[in-house]
Amino acid sequence: MNGVNIYYSFNDFMNQVIEKADALSRQNHNRGLEELFDVSRSTYESMEKLIGAGWYVFLAVAALLALSLIGFTAALVGFLTTPIGLAVAAIFGLTAGKKIKQMYQEKILPLTVKEVGEQYKIRWENANGNRTVIDGLLNQAANDLYQRAAARGISALLN
């Protein structure tokens, strides 16, 4: 966690939630989150880069991912010309559109991370840097994300 400050940066907090949930998944299933959600490593890493750039950048992309295919296709070009879209383009360079399209095809993990993040954001803000409270929230949020991944992974194995 060098250079990471989960106590004062929600972006860092959420990336640590993902890392910790991934560690739980590997510990309990010998498979990472990307495997339980059946997404590529590239989608996993793209999601972490977006969150690192800012939670609201990630939320903007997640909003795109929640659209129907027709809505997504129409909105993607317009999105990339907005200020947040330009920030996304700066993160991914010329492959921004391709990365977002891949995330759309594998949207279950990013949308689940968004749900977990939104569930814990206000509680994280209210903790106001309190290390004990935030450490507890980190454990709860990571476990919540892991449980959702495990449920999805187990049901996929059964089908």
* pTM of the full structure: 0.91
Between 88 and 150, name the one with better pLDDT.
88
Mean pLDDT of 17-40: 92
Q: Report the pLDDT value the prediction gives residue 159, as an integer from 0 to 100.
A: 45
Mean pLDDT of 130-150: 95
Tell me the pLDDT tens digit for each residue of 91-129.
999 999 999 999 999 999 999 999 999 999 999 999 999
Domain residue ranges of the chain, discontinuous segments joined by +:
10-158
Between 118 and 151, name the one with better pLDDT.
118
CA angle 38/39/42 to nearest 5° reads: 155
**Angle, nearest 10°, between helix axes 108-127 and 131-158?**
160
Tell me the pLDDT tens digit for each residue of 71-80.
998 899 899 9
Q: Report the pLDDT value the prediction gives residue 38, as an integer from 0 to 100.
A: 87
Mean pLDDT of 132-149: 96
H or E, element range at 106: none
Q: Report the pLDDT value the prediction gives residue 113, as an integer from 0 to 100.
A: 96
CA distance to 9, 12, 36, 138, 144, per residue, from 3 (Å): 11, 9, 29, 17, 25
Distance CA 62, CA 104 (A): 9
What value does the mean pLDDT of the chain take?
91
Both tokens assigned to 68: 């129907």
Alpha helices by DSSP H, 5-107: 10-29, 33-36, 41-53, 55-65, 69-79, 83-92, 96-105
Distance CA 89, CA 57 (A): 11
- Give the model's confidence band at 150: pLDDT under 50 very low, under 70 low, under 90 confident, else very high: confident
Chain CA centroid to CA 105, Å: 15
